[in-house]
Structure 1
Amino acid sequence: MSNISLLPQVRGFLQREHSSFIDGRQQPADNPHYLEVIDPASDQVISRVAEACVHTVDDAVASSRRGFAQWSQAAPAVRASVLLKLADLIEQHREELAQLETCQSGKLINISRNFEVDQAAHFLRYYAGWATKLSGQTLTPSLPSFNGERYTAFTLREPVGVVVGIVPWNFSTMIALWKLGSALVTGCSIIIKPSEFTPLTILRIAELAIDAGLPAGALNVVTGGGMAGKALIEHPGTDKVSFTGSVPTGLAVGQSAMAANLTRTTLELGGKNAAGFLRDVALSKAVDGIIEAGFLHSGQICAAAERFYVHRSQIEAVTGALSERLAKLKIGSPLDETSEFGPVSNKQHQARLGALFAKARSENSQIIHGGRLLEGPGCYVEPTVILANSVNDSLLNEETFGPVATFLPYDDEEQLIALMNDSPYGLSASLWTNDLSKALRLVPQVQAGTVWVNMHTLLDPAVPFGGVKASGIGREFGGAFIEDYTELKSVMIRY
C-alpha cells in the first residue's frame, strides 16, 4: 500500500511560516532566524519555525502572567468545560493532528492516531475531572486557651502561577497535553516550549485551545532551541518548570531553575529501564513482551525497556526467536498504514545510535540481529538485538533511546533483582511471570517508579508516573500531580 494522502489543511499548515504563539495567536517573527522542520522519513524540509529571541520570551511570560490572573479566577467547572471542549476538538481534528505529528516525528501514522491524538484527548478528559475535586483540609489546632478563645484551621490549594512545560520530540503531542492539562486544571497558566524538531502539532493545538474558550495568555507556545528553554527556566516571571527529557539535560534544567529563583521543578527523565523474564514465561509470550517493552515507536519512549534479563537456560531460544520476528517486520514509510517499523525521529539521533553500535562492536558484544543504519533517505535504524558479555558493557549502561534490546542471562531470582537494580536510574521496570504470588513478592524489591507485571510501557492517567534515583523528581497523573502544580496555604483563626 502507498502512503496516505495528506489532508489539504495539513498541506496548508506545513506551508505556513510559523512562530511563537502568544496572546492567542502566532506572533510575527521578531527574529530572522528560522529553524527547519525535517521529515525523518525522507530528510526533506517540510516547514519552518521562527526561533524565539529574548524579547519573545519576555512577551510570552508577560502574556502568561496576565493569563494567570484571569484563568486562576475561573470557576472550577469553567476550567473543566474548556478542557473537555479542547478534548472534543482534538478528536474532531484527529486525522489532521496525526498527520502533522507523523510528518514531523516519523511516528507510524497508526501510533500517531491511537496514542498521540486519542490518548491525549483521553488524558485531557481525566484532568478535567479533577477541576471540581481540588480540596484542602479542616484542622483542629491544639493551642491552649487562656481566656476562653478557641482556634480552628484549614488549608487551601492554590495554583503555583506560570508553568514552563518543556516537551521532548518523541511524543510531542501527548506529553505537551499532559503538562497543559496539569497546569490548566489547577488554575495555572502555561508556556509550552516544544522541541525544535517537533513544534508543529502543539502550535495547531494552541489554536484549537482558543476555539475551546481558553483565554488568551493562559496557554502560550515559545518555539526555539535550548536557549529559549534556558531563558524561560531562568526568567523571574515563571514559577515552575515541568521537564520531560534526558537525564543530563534534566539535571541541567533542575540546577538552572534552583539557581535562578528556587523555581520548583518536576523532572520526568529517562534511564536504563529493565525487564526481567522468569523461567515460567512461554517463549512466544516472552518475544511479544520484549517487542512491546523495547520496540514500540522504535524504542523512543522514556519508559521503554533497554536491559533484558532472561534465564541462562532460555537466553539462546529467546534471542533467536526475537531476531526471527524482527527480521519479518515491514520497515517503511510512517505514512504507509501497513508499515510496522519506521524511522527514528532525527538525523542526530540516528548518528548517535550508529556510534553506540560501533562501541558495542569494539567491546565484542554479540550483535545477534541488526546493528546497522539503513542506507538511503530517512533516519532508519535496524531493530537490534545484542547479547552483552558482562554488566560492564556500554549498551547495558548507556541509554540508547532507540530500537535496541541488550540481553544478559541470569541464574536465579536473587541475581535477577540485583541485575535489574544495578543502575543509577529508576524510571520503570517490568517482571514477566505466570506466578502472581511470586511477582507480588518481587515487585517491592525492584527500584523503579513504575513496575509493570506482564506488560510494559503502557500508561493510564489514573496511575501516577515518575522516576526514582536519577530518573526524576515528582509525579505525573493520578492525584499526585496536584502536589506539583499547587501551593499549600495554611489558615489559622482565633475566635
Structure 2
Amino acid sequence: MADIRILSEVETFLARQHRQYIDGQAVAAMDTVATDIINPSNRKVVASVRQATPAQVQHAVASAHEAFTGVWQQTSAARRGELLNRLADLMQAHREELAQIESLSSGKLIGLSRAFEIDYSIAFLRYYAGWATKIHGQTMNLSLPSSNGEQYTGFTLRQPIGVVAGIVPWNFSIMIAVWKFGSALACGCTAVIKPSEFTPLTMLRVAELALEAGIPPGVLNIVNGNGRTVGTALIAHPKVAKVTFTGSVPTGVGVGVAAMQAGLKHVTLELGGKNPAGFLRDFPVERTVDGIIEAAYLHQGEVCASAERFYVHRSRIDDVLEALHHTLATLKIGSALDESAQFGPLANAAHFAKVMAFFEKARAQDGEIVHGGTVAPGDGFFVQPTAIPARSQADTIMTEETFGPVASFLAYDDEEEMLHYMNDTHFGLTASIWTNDLSKALRFVPRVEAGTVWVNMHNYIDPAMPFGGVKSSGIGREFGEAFIEYFTELKSVIVRY
C-alpha cells in the first residue's frame, strides 16, 4: 500500500522557517545553526529548525518566570483546568495534522501516531486538567502545650514550585512533553520545554495551539537545540526551579548532578531500562509469542518501558523461538506513512548506527540470531526485528540497553531462578509476568524490583497510574496523584491565637 496523502496544512507547516516559541510567538535565531529534520522512512530532509541562542534560553526562562509570578498565578485553578481541556480539544481537531508531522519526523507508524501519540496525549491532558482543582493541603491537631491559655492550629499548603524545564526525548515527542507541561500547568507552574533536536516539530505546533486555546503567553515556551548547549543552559538557569527529564541513564545522571550543583533544583528523572518479561511454564506458546511481540517491538522497540530480556522455561524456549521467528518473518516492514506497515524505521541515523553496532557485538560473542540482526530493505533507517538467545545472564545482550527492536532470551529451570534473573540488573523501570495462575502472579509482583509490574500485558500506561523507576531507572513519579508531589512545594503554617 502506498503512503497516505500529506495534508496541505502539514506541507505548509514544514515549509516554514522554524524557530523558538517564546512568550507566545515565534522568535527568530538566524545566526545559529539550522538542524535538518530527517524523515526516517527515506532519509530526506522535511524541515530545518534553528537552535536557540543563549540569549533566547534566557528569554524563555524569563518569560516563564514572569508568567508564573504574574498572569498564571492570577489564573484560578478551575480556569487552568479549562484551558488544558481547550488545548486537548484543539489537539483532537488537529489530530491528523499532528500525527503526520510526528510520523514524518520520528518514523512512528501513522496508526501509532494517531492512536497513541495524539490520543494518549489528549487523555493525559484531560486527566491533568481534572486535577487542577483538587490540589490541597491538610489541617493538623498540634501537640504544642498551652502555657498561658493560648491555642495553636496548623495546616499545610501545596504551592506550585515555579518554572519547570522539561527535557524531552525523540521517541514520543508530544506525549512525553505533555506529561511534563501538563503536570506543571495543572499545578500552577509554567514550563520551558526542550524537545529532542531530532523531533522538535510537533511541539512547536502544539505551542501554537496552546496560545489559540487561551493559555497565556509565557506559560508554555519551546527552545530547540541539543542537550550539551541548550539543555545545560536551562538546567543552570537560576530561575528554573525544577528539571524533569526522560532519557538514558548516563544522561539522566548528568542532568541530576547538574541540577543539584545549580542550587539543589528539584528533579524528576524517568530513565531507561533493560526491562524483563518472565513467562511461566503454564503459559501457552502462542500466547507467549503474542506477548513478546507486544512487549518488545512496539514502535520498533523505541519505548523506555519495552521489554528487552525474556525468560522462558527451558521446556518451552525452543518452541517459543521457532514460533517467534515465523511470526517476525510475516511482519510487513515499511514507511511510517504506509497504513498497512506493521514495523517502521528507526528514528534517526545515530540510533540506526547504535543498533547496527549492537548486532555486531552479538555476533562477536558467537551469539545465534534466531531472526533479524540485519538491515531491512528500504531507503530509510530500517532494520529487521531481532531475536537473540543468550548464553548466560552476563551476555552483553542481557545487560546493555539497546532501545531498539532486539529481544534477548534466556531459559530458566525454576521460578525462583526466573525471579533472580529478572532482578539481576541495576535497572528497574518496568517488568511483566505472564501466567494463567493469578494467585502465583500476585505473590511474585511484590518481589519484582521495578516501578511498574504488569501481569499478562506489557507497555500499557494509564494517566491514573503513577509511573517511574527504581534503582538506576529514575527518581520521582509521573501520572496519577503522585505527580503533584513533584511539581509543588509543601508549606507548613502554624497559627497561635
The two structures have a TM-score, normalised by structure 2, of 0.99
Structure 1: how far apart are the matches of 2:471 and 2:73? 34
Q: CA deviation at 1:375?
A: 4.9
The residue number in structure 1 matching 2:93 is 92
The residue number in structure 2 matching 1:6 is 6
Identity of aligned residues (%): 59
The residue number in structure 1 matching 2:113 is 112
Helix, strand or coil for the counterpart of 1:429?
A: strand
Amino acid across the alignment from 2:26: Q
Helix, strand or coil for the counterpart of 1:289?
A: helix
Structure 1: how far apart are the matches of 2:465 and 2:20? 33
Q: 1:319 aligns with which of 318, 321, 332?
A: 321
1:186 aligns with 2:187: yes
The residue number in structure 1 matching 2:337 is 335
Q: CA deviation at 1:232?
A: 0.1
Helix, strand or coil for the counterpart of 1:426?
A: coil
Structure 2: how far apart are the matches of 1:61 and 1:133? 27
The residue number in structure 2 matching 1:208 is 209
Q: CA deviation at 1:72?
A: 2.4
Q: CA deviation at 1:32?
A: 3.1
Q: CA deviation at 1:13?
A: 0.5
Amino acid across the alignment from 1:112: S
- Confirm or deny: 8 A CA contact 1:31 1:52 kept in the other structure: no
- Confirm or deny: 8 A CA contact 2:390 2:398 kept in the other structure: yes
Deviations 1:150-182 (A, max 9, x none): 000000000000000000000001101111110
Structure 2: how far apart are the matches of 1:284 and 1:139? 56
The residue number in structure 2 matching 1:243 is 245
Amino acid across the alignment from 2:36: E
Amino acid across the alignment from 1:321: A
Alignment of 1:35-74 (within 5 A): 35-69=35-69, 70-74=71-75
Q: CA deviation at 1:219?
A: 0.3
Amino acid across the alignment from 2:324: L
- Confirm or deny: 8 A CA contact 2:192 2:222 kept in the other structure: yes
Deviations 1:361-417 (A, max 9, x none): 111111110001235421001000000111111010000000000000000000000
Amino acid across the alignment from 1:194: P
Aligned length: 495
Helix, strand or coil for the counterpart of 1:18?
A: coil
Alignment of 1:461-480 (within 5 A): 461-480=463-482
Structure 2: how far apart are the matches of 1:30 and 1:7? 28
Helix, strand or coil for the counterpart of 1:261?
A: coil
Q: 1:252 aligns with which of 251, 254, 263?
A: 254
Amino acid across the alignment from 1:29: A
Amino acid across the alignment from 2:462: D
Show structure 1 runs of 5+ residues with no match: none
Alignment of 1:136-175 (within 5 A): 136-175=137-176
- Confirm or deny: 8 A CA contact 1:156 1:489 kept in the other structure: yes
- Confirm or deny: 8 A CA contact 1:30 1:53 kept in the other structure: no
1:395 aligns with 2:383: no
1:369 aligns with 2:341: no
Structure 1: how far apart are the matches of 2:95 and 2:131? 24
Structure 2: how far apart are the matches of 1:262 and 1:405? 39
Structure 2: how far apart are the matches of 1:233 and 1:319? 46
Alignment of 1:176-325 (within 5 A): 176-226=177-227, 227-325=229-327
- Confirm or deny: 8 A CA contact 2:32 2:52 kept in the other structure: no
The two structures have a TM-score, normalised by structure 1, of 0.99
Deviations 1:338-358 (A, max 9, x none): 000000100110111111110
Q: CA deviation at 1:30?
A: 4.9
Q: CA deviation at 1:284?
A: 1.1
The residue number in structure 2 matching 1:15 is 15
Structure 1: how far apart are the matches of 2:325 and 2:209? 44
Structure 2: how far apart are the matches of 1:168 and 1:46? 19
- Confirm or deny: 8 A CA contact 1:308 1:406 kept in the other structure: yes
Deviations 1:303-345 (A, max 9, x none): 0000000000100000110110000000011101000000010
Amino acid across the alignment from 2:15: Q
